[in-house]
Structure 1
Amino acid sequence: MWPMPRNSMPTWKWMSASMADEPQPIASPCVSICALDENDICVGCFRTGGEISIWGLLSHAEKQEVMRRIPLRMDGEPAPCVVRKR
């Protein structure tokens, strides 16, 4: 059924506009070098073991916060684990 019938275009445009407002998913920073150091920080992606284990459950904002802390950890600065408050 291609090309799309003209009467379908308004719905398609509406769907496209609403999808553009959603934030882009944040990909896992995993680089497949998975080993935790003595501080529970992965030597490959610089996430904590806790952050790695719950990555799929984190909200977009929580993932952004993990990504913000990674460069700090790479520079040797303390950056505590992002964990959900229950």
Structure 2
Amino acid sequence: MNLENETPSPCVRKCCLNENDICLGCFRHIDEIVGWSKMTEIEKRKIIENCNLREQKEK
């Protein structure tokens, strides 16, 4: 796969986990953060969707 087509990490370098192990910067669960580099593009896109939903719930 071409690097230009890879889903970029949503990390914003504001790493701090809440009581549910969700990062308050990018809204990924710790397991999603740790496993990011080994995930497929489909998995990464799903995680991004989940992060957006988690962020919306926080607002």
Category of TM-score, reference length = shorter chain: 0.7 to 0.9
Amino acid at match of 1:25: E
Partner of 1:57: 38
Runs of 5+ consecutive residues of structure 1 not aligned to the other structure: 1-18, 78-86
Alpha-carbon distance, 1:26 to partner: 0.5
Gap regions ≥5 residues in structure 2: none
Overall identity of the aligned pairs, in % = 41
Q: Which runs of 4+ in 1 moved over 6 A?
A: none
Q: How much does 1:75 deviate?
A: 1.7
| TM-score normalised by length of structure 2 | 0.86
Bigger CA radius of gyration: 1
Richer in helix (by share):
2
Provide TM-score, normalisation by structure 1.
Answer: 0.60
